[in-house]
Amino acid sequence: MKRYLAMDSNDWAKDNVVPNPLNDIFNFVAGGSDTTSYTLACAFFYILSSPEIYAKLVKELDENAPFIRDTFDYIKIQNLSYLNAVIKETLRISVPVPGCLPRIVPEGGTTLGSVYLPAGTAVSISQQSVSFHETIFPSPEKFIPERWLGNEAQRLDKWNVAFSRGPRQCIGTSLAYLELRCVLAYFLSRFEMALTGNCGDRLRWVDRFVAVNLDDVEIKLLRDRWN
């Protein structure tokens, strides 16, 4: 922000910045904070809504408690298979950016199926339509972390489009995964929790470029398991 405020509005090139700083600011705020908080709220909701999933995840975290409680070794935390499966399933069923992200067909054009798209054509696809495609994800309306485990996970990874794909993929993907893993690992390892609100079995949301929950996810901390 200091750099933007100090630059010469009559000579953008001199300061070597893009001529539309509001676009950058919007991306940093919406993409860097709203999406993470939305995903965490959804993750806690789906985890705590299923006693079986909650117990299975806590068991994995308890088995690796020294990496979380004593040293907080992120390198080891990021390899926890069920934690990763829960995060990927959350990103699938509650896509942080559910709408269409436009792309421009490059020089030479391309053919999709039987349709030729000339260079310069704007194309896009909804992330939500991929995540709820029944051929790719059977029973797409159900929260099933196990679909991201074992051999099936290798097939599905290419359809994990929550951060988009290709050279224009979200630049904050690695940071987002770090935040999600660290917050979930710490809180679920340390505290016994329960939902206190009444959201039903699905969260209601609206698309405001980033998804925004219409229901508050209210959680009660029942016990500090470390003390």
Q: How many residues does the chain have?
A: 227
**Tokens for 138?**
């059977």
The set of residues, in sequence order, having a beta carbon less than 8 Å from that of 16 and lying 6+ positions away, is: none
Q: Residues 211-215: contacts with CB within 8 Å, 24+ apart?
A: 211/38, 211/94, 211/95, 211/96, 211/97, 211/98, 212/34, 212/38, 213/38, 213/41, 213/42
Report the alpha-carbon distance of residue 181 to residue 17 in Å, rounded.
33
Q: Please, where are the H alpha helices in the chain?
A: 2-6, 12-15, 21-26, 35-49, 51-63, 65, 74-77, 81-93, 127-131, 150-156, 173-190
**Tokens for 31?**
């993409």
Report the alpha-carbon distance of residue 178 to residue 184 in Å, rounded.
10
**Tokens for 199?**
């959201």
Tell me if 100 is assigned to a ligand binding site: no
User: Residues at the annotated binding site?
Assistant: 170
User: Residues at the annotated binding site for heme?
Assistant: 170
